[in-house]
Amino acid sequence: MYNFDYAKASSVADAVAALGADEAQAISGGQTLIPTLKQRLAMPSTLVDLTGVAEMQGIEASGSAVKIGGATTHHAVATSADVQGAIPALAALASGIGDPAVRHKGTLGGSVANNDPSACYPSACLALGATVHTSGGDVAADDFFQGMFDTALGEGQIVTGATFPVPEAANYQKFVQPASRFALVGVFVAKTAGGARVAVTGASESGVFRWTAAEEALSANWSADAVPAAPSADGMISDLHGSAEYRAHLVAVMTKRAVTAS
């Protein structure tokens, strides 16, 4: 790692101010950022630690929505009775990210802000129609994720949390990449009052996306049998763990399994 200064923010305002410095960068759980820094792929002047920001902690559940602070760990989400009660698929998703030690550190905000094309949380945000709370205001998930590692976050802005509407039914199916255990393909399906939403992570070169053909079919008939044939392999990731064709196939298989399990 190149050296950097370390600053622990105590509030969102404090964090945003610190991030105004040249080449300052936010760190939350650090489970992706620290390995990146070890490879000297980034050279921040200051790391602004968000994990001590009280207003970014915690989970609030109402009958219709679950609000999760950006600095809330995957472990906290996975074990939250509120999340388990309101959106069990979201708790299950959190319980499958990384491994126990990673879940004790990694946070929702970090995952959402990074928008790794193989991360799990972006698919939940997109499928549930979440609102992403940022230091620059609220952004609908549909507008937030803009391609691999690309989001609507402006310079110096941070994700402070997300609010997930409670669906009628939902499920997340993750097919793991055998080495990293990230999603080779992950599909989050949600049955909502406004229709079915299907979000796919891991598969596309454009990052997380909504599989609209499946949404239309499932809106008409919420059953595995209704899931259409696999989407086109064009634009799917092809690497040593899976061809584009294989990933496209898995999108359909995982969607069916998610609907069945929902």
Partner 1 sequence: MPSVSMNVNGRSVSGDVEGRTLLVDFIRQHIGLTGTHVGCDTGQCGACVVHVNGDSVKACNMLAAAADGSEVTTIEGMANADGTLGVVQQAFQDHHGLQCGFCTPGMVMTAADLLNRNANPTEQEVREYLEGNICRCTGYHNIVKAILSAAATMRGEQIAAE
Partner 2 sequence: MPKDSGIGASSKRREDVRFLTGTGNYTDDINIAGQHYMYVLRSQVAHGTINSIDTSAAASMPGVHGILTGDDFAEVGGLPCGWQIHSRDGEPMKEPAHPVLARGKVRHVGDPIAAVIATSLAEARDAAEAIDVDISELPAVVDMKAAVSGSAASVHEEAPDNLCYDWGFVEENREAVDEAIKSAHHVTTLELVNNRLVANPMEPRVAIGDFNRASGESTLYTTSQNPHVIRLLMGAFVLGIPEHKLRVVAPDVGGGFGTKIFHYAEEALCTFAAKKYNLPVKWTSDRSEAFITDAHGRDHVTKIELALDENGMFQAIRTDTLANMGAYLSTFAPSVPTWLHGTLMAGNYKTPLVYCNVKAVFTNTVAVDAYRGAGRPEATFQLERVIDKAAREMGIDPVEIRRRNFIGADEFPYQTPVAVAYDTGDYHGTMDKLIEIADFAGFAARKAESASRGKLRGLGVNAYIEACGIAPSNLVGQLGARAGLFESATVRVNAAGGIVVMTGSHSHGQGHETTFSQVIAEMFGMPEDMVEIVHGDTARTPMGMGTYGSRSLAVGGSAMVRAAEKIIAKAKRIASHLMEASVDDVEFKDGVFSVAGTDKNVDFGSVALAAYVPHNYPLESIEPGLEETAFYDPSNFTYPAGAYACEVEVDPDTGVVEVCSFHAADDFGNVVNPMIVEGQVHGGLAQGIGQALREAAIYDPETGQLLSGSYMDYAMPRADDLPMFDVDHSSQTPCTHNPLGVKGCGEAGAIGSPPSVVNAVIDALQSGGHDVAHIDMPLTPNRVWHAIQSAS
- Size of the chain, expressed as the number of residues it contains: 262
Contacts of 124 (CB under 8 A, 6+ apart): 89, 90, 93, 130, 164, 172, 188, 199
Which one of 1, 54, 81, 220 is in contact with partner 1 (CB under 8 A)?
1
Residue 34, binding choice from partner 1, partner 2, none, Cβ under 5 to 8 Å by partner class: partner 1
- Residue 170 and residue 187 in contact, taking contact as beta carbons nearer than 8 Å: no
Stretch that binds partner 1, among 101-109, 117-125, 139-147, 164-172 (CB under 8 A): 101-109
Stretch that binds partner 1, among 3-11, 59-67, 136-144, 251-259 (CB under 8 A): 3-11
DSSP string of 134-201, one letter each residue: ETTEEEEHHHHB-STT-BSPPTT--EEEEEEEPPSEEEEEEEE-TTT-SEEEEEEEEEETTEEEEEEE
Residue 72, binding choice from partner 2, partner 1, none, Cβ under 5 to 8 Å by partner class: none
- Virtual torsion, Cα 136, 140, 144, 145, nearest 10 deg: 160
99 is a site residue for partner 1 (CB under 8 A) = yes
Which one of 108, 125, 141, 250 is in contact with partner 2 (CB under 8 A)?
250
180 is a site residue for partner 2 (CB under 8 A) = yes
225 is a site residue for partner 2 (CB under 8 A) = no
Which one of 105, 147, 169, 192 is in contact with partner 1 (CB under 8 A)?
105
Backbone angles phi, psi at 203, to 5 degrees: -95, -40
- Beta strands at 137-140 and 131-134: parallel, antiparallel or unpaired: antiparallel
The closest alpha carbon to 172, from 88, 70, 84, belongs to: 88
| Residue bearing tokens 């199916």 | 173
Residue 101, binding choice from partner 2, partner 1, none, Cβ under 5 to 8 Å by partner class: partner 1
Site for partner 2, rule CB under 8 A: 1-3, 38-40, 175, 178-182, 239-243, 245-246, 249-250, 253
Residues that bind partner 1 (CB under 8 A): 1-6, 8, 27, 30-31, 34-35, 37-39, 46-47, 49, 51, 75, 98-102, 104-105, 180-181
